Amino acid sequence: MTILIIGCRGQVGTELALQMKQRGREIIAVDLPEIDITDSSSVKNYIARPEVSLVVNAAAYTAVDRAESERELAFAVNAQGPGLIAESCRIGNIPLIHISTDYVFDGTKSSAYVETDPVSPVGIYGKSKAAGDSLVAGCLEKYIILRTSWVCSAHGANFVKTMLRLGNEKETIRVVDDQKGCPTFAHDIAEAIVTIAEKYLAEQELPWGCYHYCGKGETTWFAFAQEIFRQAGERRELKLKSLLPIPSSEYPSPVKRPMNSVLNCSKIIEKFGIQPRPWKESLQQTLNDLYLQESAITSS
Question: Which stretches of the chain bind ligand NAP, using CB under 6 A?
Answer: 7, 9-13, 31-32, 35-38, 58-62, 77, 81, 99, 101-102, 129, 148-151, 156
Residues 15 and 156: their CA atoms lie apart, in Å, by 11
Nearer CB in complex with ligand NAP: 62/179: 62
- Residue 175 to residue 242: CA distance in whole angstroms: 11
**CB 58, min distance to ligand NAP, A:** 5
CB distance 91 to 46 below 8 Å: no
Instruction: Tell me the residue ranges of DSSP E strands in 94-230.
Output: 96-101, 143-148, 151-152, 172-176, 180-181, 184-185, 209-212, 219-220
Query: What radius of gyration, in Å, describes the C-alpha atoms of the chain?
Result: 19
| Closest CB to ligand NAP among residues 107, 204 | 107
β strands within the chain, DSSP E = 2-6, 26-30, 52-57, 96-101, 143-148, 151-152, 172-176, 180-181, 184-185, 209-212, 219-220, 242-246
Nearest-approach distance from CB 241 to ligand NAP, in angstroms:
28
CA distances from 152 to 55, 117, 159, 172 (A): 23, 25, 7, 23
DSSP count for the chain of H helices, then E strands: 10, 12
Residue with the shortest CB distance to ligand NAP: 10
The residues annotated with a catalytic role in the active site are 125
The nearer residue to ligand NAP, 133 or 287, going by C-beta atoms, is 133
DSSP state of 78: I
Which C-beta is closer to ligand NAP: that of 58 or that of 196? 58
Closer by beta carbon to ligand NAP, 79 or else 232: 79
Residue 41 C-beta: closest distance to ligand NAP, Å: 13
CB of 292 to ligand NAP, least distance (A): 20
**Distance of closest approach, residue 223 Cβ to ligand NAP, in angstroms:** 17
Report the distance separating Cα 89 and Cα 93, nearest Å: 6
Give backbone dihedrals phi and psi of 2, rounded to 5 degrees, phi first.
Answer: -105, 140
